[in-house]
């Protein structure tokens, strides 16, 4: 997938907006302004945004906000959302208690 991406490309200056206080990632309480600011700090991929701000790292793992975050980042970069790769989905699909997850095998290691 690798395509050359020069991070010094000029995307213009950060301009504050009225709706910057709007919560986008509800699990981790990240606002639209924080996401836009992160793009100007150099975070140009969904993966970098997630690692920098924790968007999509809470209980829902991005199942709620990922599309919204992508739209905001794309607009800030001046590209189509379709050009941005989604961040990697991680196992497990739903939060699962440690004692339940642990039962994948018995104590002696056999199923």
Partner 1 sequence: MNNTADVIVIGGGILGNATAYYLEKRGLHAIVLEGSDHIGNGGSSRNGGGVRQSGRDVRELPLVMYGIKNIWPTLSEELGVDCEYHQDGNLRLGKNEKHKEILTRLATNAKGCGLDVRMIDGKEVREINPYLSDEVTCASWCPTDGHANPLTTTLGYYKCARALGARFVTGEFVKEIRLVKGRAGKVVCASGDVYEGDNVVVLAGYDSRAILGTVGIDVPMTRSLLECLVTEAQPHMFDQMLGTAEADFYGHQTKHGSFVFGGSSGFEGYNKDNGTPISNAITAPCICRGIMKYFPILSKAKIVRTWAGWSDKSADGVPVVGAIEEVPGLYTSCAMTGHGFGIGPAVAHQLAQLIATGETDVDLHELRYDRFHAKI
Q: Which residue's CB is nearer to partner 1, number 27 or number 68? A: 27
Q: Taking Cα atoms as reference points, which of 35, 34, 26 lies closest to residue 56?
A: 26
CB of 18 to partner 1, least distance (A): 25
Report how far residue 44's alpha carbon sits from residue 52's, in angstroms, rounded to the nearest whole number: 11
Is residue 73 packed enough to be buried (19+ CB in 10 Å), middle (13-18) or exposed (0-12)? Answer: buried
Report how far residue 60's alpha carbon sits from residue 65's, in angstroms, rounded to the nearest whole number: 9
Q: Which residue's CB is nearer to partner 1, number 10 or number 18? A: 10
CB of 13 to partner 1, least distance (A): 13
CB of 36 to partner 1, least distance (A): 15
Report how far residue 13's alpha carbon sits from residue 57's, in angstroms, rounded to the nearest whole number: 28
Q: What does the binding site for partner 1 look like in residue numbers (CB under 8 A)? A: 1-8, 41-43, 45, 47-48, 51-52, 54, 57-59, 61, 85, 90-92, 95-99, 101-105, 107
CB of 80 to partner 1, least distance (A): 16
């Amino acid at each position: 997938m690798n395509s050359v991406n020069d991070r010094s490309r000029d995307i213009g200056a950060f301009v504050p907006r009225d709706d910057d206080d709007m919560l986008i990632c509800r699990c981790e309480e990240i606002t639209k302004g924080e996401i836009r600011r992160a793009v100007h700090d150099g975070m140009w991929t969904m993966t970098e945004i997630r690692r920098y701000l924790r968007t999509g790292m809470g209980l829902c793992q991005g199942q709620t906000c990922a599309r919204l975050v992508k739209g905001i980042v794309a607009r800030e970069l001046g590209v189509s959302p379709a050009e941005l790769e989604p961040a990697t989905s991680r196992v497990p699909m739903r939060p699962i208690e440690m004692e339940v997850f642990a039962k994948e095998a018995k104590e002696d290691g056999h199923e």
